[in-house]
Structure 1
């Protein structure tokens, strides 16, 4: 990922927080069949390995798990909020007019060599962990144990698990750090007035000074 120095996020705690908050990851692999990608929820174990380990599962019918089993490097993409930046937001527009549109966004790429497994107990831990994480916001959370045990075992036989120890992380927080304080303030104010949740989140990150991360 092309990342100029002023857009780099190299703070491990920040990267882990963004990974944990992501709703879906894009899993990208390459083998003799070419590039493959799947969009899946994953779990981060921040304490496992120097950069953490990401775990998840694929349908057994999804051929991408065979690419994972080859031991080749895989990439996980975690996309954060993003926003179109109009030149009209910049203070520089009124000064000299030498401005063009851009896009602000947050993104993380994680790379590692996967381990693939079909052990039912390990698969159950992943499925239960994912369920508990995303059901936690509900007033009456559903749990995997609410379903009949024999049904769950049958469903587990239809998936393949993976764990990817993160060997390297690339974090990018493109929040106009290369612009003047006046331009940054103008963008933040302009986005804050939008009704789009992504625009508002980018404005929040900028106004909190996180553009300096």
Structure 2
């Protein structure tokens, strides 16, 4: 991934936080049937290795788990929001017109080695932890024990576990860090006016970091 210095995010805790908050990601592999992409919710275990590990499950009918071998290299892409940025939002555009449209976003690319786990105990653990995580916000969280035992067992037999040992992780947070103070604030105002409140809030800390960088250069 191309990452200019201004947009590079290397703090592992920040990258892990994004992966945890936005766990639905895209798994890319190059298996026996060529390039493939699957969209899956992932569980992040930060206690394994230097960068952590990812766990997920796929349908048994999905050929991806047969196409990959243990140890194959894969890429998982996490994305956390994006927004179009109009050059009209930059005050400098109205001074010299030397601005163009762009797109702001946050992504994390995770590179790792895959392991296939075709056993019920493993997938039961993955499903249980993912369920607890994502049902926690519900008024009455669903539990695996809510389903009839025979039905649940049939569902577990229909999926296969995947684990990815993370060997490299990259973060690109493109939030206007390469722009001036006035242009960042102009883009923040434009985003708020267009209903993109989340991206506007993300750019505010970015602008503070940019201001500090500018101060250090003086």
Give the TM bin, normalised by the shorter chain: over 0.9
Which residue is 1:18 aligned to? 18
2:55–2:163 contact (8 Å) kept in structure 1: yes
Distance 2:137 2:207 in 1: 26
Distance 1:120 1:57 in 2: 11
Secondary structure of the corresponding residue to residue 179 of structure 1:
coil
User: Taking structure 1 as reference, are residues 183 and 25 closer, same or farther at Cα in structure 2, changes over 3 Å only?
Assistant: same
TM-score, with length taken from structure 2: 0.92
Distance 1:102 1:162 in 2: 36
1:205–1:211 contact (8 Å) kept in structure 2: no
Matched ranges for 1:1-213 at <5 A: 1-195=1-195, 199-209=196-206, 212=209
1:92–1:183 contact (8 Å) kept in structure 2: yes
Secondary structure of the corresponding residue to residue 121 of structure 1:
helix
2:44–2:53 contact (8 Å) kept in structure 1: yes
TM-score, with length taken from structure 1: 0.94
Paired residues in the alignment total 210
Distance 1:107 1:206 in 2: 15
Distance 1:53 1:31 in 2: 20
Deviation at 1:67, TM superposition (A): 3.0
User: Taking structure 1 as reference, are residues 43 and 88 closer, same or farther at Cα in structure 2, changes over 3 Å only?
Assistant: same
User: Taking structure 1 as reference, are residues 115 and 210 closer, same or farther at Cα in structure 2, changes over 3 Å only?
Assistant: farther
Deviation at 1:189, TM superposition (A): 1.4
User: Taking structure 1 as reference, are residues 211 and 168 closer, same or farther at Cα in structure 2, changes over 3 Å only?
Assistant: farther
1:177–1:211 contact (8 Å) kept in structure 2: no
Deviation at 1:210, TM superposition (A): 6.9
Deviation at 1:70, TM superposition (A): 4.8
What per-residue deviation string (whole Å, max 9, x for no partner) do you get for residues 32-88 of structure 1?
A: 321101111110011111101110001111011123335320111101110000001
Distance 1:92 1:34 in 2: 47
Q: Which runs of 4+ in 1 moved over 4 A?
A: none
Unaligned runs of 5+ in 1: none
User: Taking structure 1 as reference, are residues 211 and 169 closer, same or farther at Cα in structure 2, changes over 3 Å only?
Assistant: farther
Deviation at 1:153, TM superposition (A): 1.6
2:89–2:187 contact (8 Å) kept in structure 1: yes
1:89–1:190 contact (8 Å) kept in structure 2: yes
